[in-house]
Structure 1
Amino acid sequence: MSLQFLLTALIVVLVPGTGVIYTLAMGLGRGRVAALWAALGCTFGIVPALLAAMLGLAAALHASAVLFQAVKFAGVAYLLWLAWQALKSGGALNVQEDSGETNGWRIAWRGVLINVLNPKLSIFFLALLPPFLSGDPASVGTEMAVMGGTFMALTFGVFVIYGLFAAQAREVILGNARLMRWINRSFAAIFAALAGRLALDRA
């Protein structure tokens, strides 16, 4: 595994996307433990896309417009639901003084779905990994598994940092009702914008 791959993967992970936004929302809305569960869920949500890339299913998804559209619009609907949960009082992503839901498995599952319902992720792996392979057909599977595992480790580490930062900031915003309303509306707008961007994506 090359240094070039590590740097490329780190840059990709550092750029805020849907998973980062979700982890930040959980850190601000529910605290440190929830942020860790969110980071864990988003990380494990990578597994299906990685397996799809390794098995060549990403190419089939790319070739099948119907399948791509079905997964894509399921993802759009889910992101819009998350936007509503940020606005709704007591919603799963709503920042509030009461820490609300603390069911770690449920928090993690939502993070898993964020990545599972993003058809672009498997295609992304199909494009990211091959340039860094050695070219030895006998070791392709092992190399992709190692690079995928490394990408997941980087994802978890970076997301934990984002989440813990957000959890620390939670202590600052609690008690400021106006700021909490602004943050909730901002998260809702971001998830809605991500849903719109996903809806416009093509295979």
Structure 2
Amino acid sequence: MSLAFLLTAFIVVASPGTGVLYTLAAALTKGSRAGIAAAFGCTLGIVPSMCAAMLGLAAVMHTSALAFATLKWCGVVYLLYMAFQVLREQGALAVDARLEARSLKRVVVTGFLINILNPKLSIFFLAFLPQFIATDEPRPLLLMLELSGTFMAMTFVVFVVYGLFAGSVRDRIVTRPRVMSWLRRGFAGGFAALGIRLAFAER
């Protein structure tokens, strides 16, 4: 495994995106445990894209306008729904002092859906990982599995760091209604912006 892959993967993972935004929001509204749960859910959401890339399904989606558009618009609708839920103070991002097992599971499921409904993720695996697999590699699938596993582990660790940081400053924020109000609007605007950007995304 090359240093170039590790550095590139870290930049991709650490860059603010839907998963990072959701992890921060979950940690700020429900605490550090919810941030870790969100990181876990977002990481699990990578698995379908990884499997699709290995099975060649990502290539089909890359060439099929209908398949790409279907998944893309599902993602757009879900992100806009998330923005609406944040503004309503409901759903997985509602401020809650108590974090029950049911709520924790919901945070994981939401994180999973956020990534599984991102068509760019499977195409990312299709375009990104092969660059680090030599044409004469004797076991390309095994190496791809190793690279994918490393990418997932890095995603989880980085997102957990984001979540723990957000959780550590949570008490200073949730006790200030005005700050929480603006923060909620910011998260809602972030989800809406990501949804709009996805709407204009091309294969």
- Give yes or no for contact 1:26–1:93 (8 Å, CA) kept in 2: yes
Please state how far the C-alpha of 1:79 moved relative to its aligned partner. Answer: 0.3
Q: TM-score, normalised by structure 1?
A: 0.95
Deviation at 1:190, TM superposition (A): 0.3
Alignment CA distance shift 1:93-1:170 (3 Å): same
Amino acid in structure 2 at the alignment position of 1:67: A
CA contact (8 A) 1:30 1:101 kept: no
Which letter does structure 2 place at the counterpart of 1:76?
V
* Kept in 2: contact 1:27–1:35 (CA 8 A): yes
Amino acid at match of 1:150: T
What corresponds to 1:181 in structure 2? 181
CA RMSD of aligned residues (A): 1.4
Q: Which residue of 2 aligns with 1:198?
A: 198
Partner of 1:5: 5
Identity %: 53
Task: Find the aligned partners of 1:8 and 1:97 in 2 and give their Cα distance.
Answer: 36
* Aligned residues between the structures: 202
- Cα distance between partner residues in 2 of 1:118 and 1:169: 29
Q: List 4+ stretches of structure 1 deviating above 4 A.
A: 99-102
Which residue does 1:108 correspond to in 2?
Answer: 108
Matches within 5 A, 1:1-203: 1-94=1-94, 96=95, 98-99=97-98, 103-136=103-136, 138-203=138-203
Structure 2 unmatched ranges of 5 or more: none
Larger CA deviation: 133-142 vs 144-153: 133-142
Deviation of 1:169 after TM superposition, in Å, equals 1.4
Deviation sequence 1:169-201 (CA, Å, 0-9, x none): 111112211000000000000000000000000
**Structure 1 residue 91, shift from structure 2 partner:** 3.5
**Which one-letter code corresponds to 1:195 in the other structure?**
G
How far apart, CA to CA, are the structure 1 residues paired with 2:82 and 2:187?
Answer: 9
Contact preservation (8 Å) 2:34, 2:104: yes
Shift in Å at residue 99 of structure 1?
Answer: 4.4
Give yes or no for contact 2:92–2:106 (8 Å, CA) kept in 1.
Answer: no
1:92·1:101 contact (CA, 8 Å) conserved in 2? no
Tell me the secondary structure at the aligned position of residue 92 of structure 2. coil
In structure 2, what is the Cα distance between the partners aligned to 1:145 and 1:167?
32
Aligned partners of 2:75 and 2:118 also within 8 Å: yes
Cα deviation for residue 136 of structure 1 reads: 3.0
Q: Aligned letter for 1:26?
A: A
Change (3 A) 1:13 1:142: same
Q: Distance in 1 between matches of 2:97 and 2:2?
A: 46
What amino acid does structure 2 have at the position aligned with 1:21?
Answer: L
**Contact between 1:31 and 1:99, CA under 8 Å: does it hold in 2?**
no
Which blocks of at least 5 consecutive residues in structure 1 are unaligned?
Answer: none
